[in-house]
Amino acid sequence: MREKLTTAGEWLSPPEVCAEYSIFGSPAALAERRWRGDGPAYLKTTKSRSGRVFYRRSAIEQWLEERTVEAANTAGPSVASTALNSDAGTGE
């Protein structure tokens, strides 16, 4: 069964997205991301230019999670330091 578009809190308009997630800046900046094809997934009500655009909150959260970079010191030993430590004992 399809979820209704009117489910409170799940679907956000571009101004609502920008109000809740300041990383997107403005609705115009969000539109630029749509145009470039590098923004979160969205729903467009019609194929014409006048179609309304909505974002599923979960799609925004997923997009942000995919772009989250962990700090190097929290990810454990780096590949380079592991390789250096293994070479140290071989005499190479």
Q: Say whether pLDDT at 83 is over 70.
A: no
Query: In the numeric block, which tokens belong to residue 53?
Result: 């655009």
Contact between 55 and 43 under an 8 Å Cβ cutoff? The reply is yes
Average pLDDT over residues 43-68: 95
Other C-beta atoms closer than 10 Å to the C-beta of 19 total: 12
Query: Which runs of E-coded beta strand occur in the chain?
Result: 11-12, 43-44, 53-56
At 30, the pLDDT band (50, 70, 90 cuts) reads very high
More confident residue, 74 or 31: 31
Q: How far apart are CA 39 and CA 17, in angstroms?
A: 12
* Residue 44 confidence (pLDDT) above 90: yes
Distance CA 40, CA 56 (A): 9
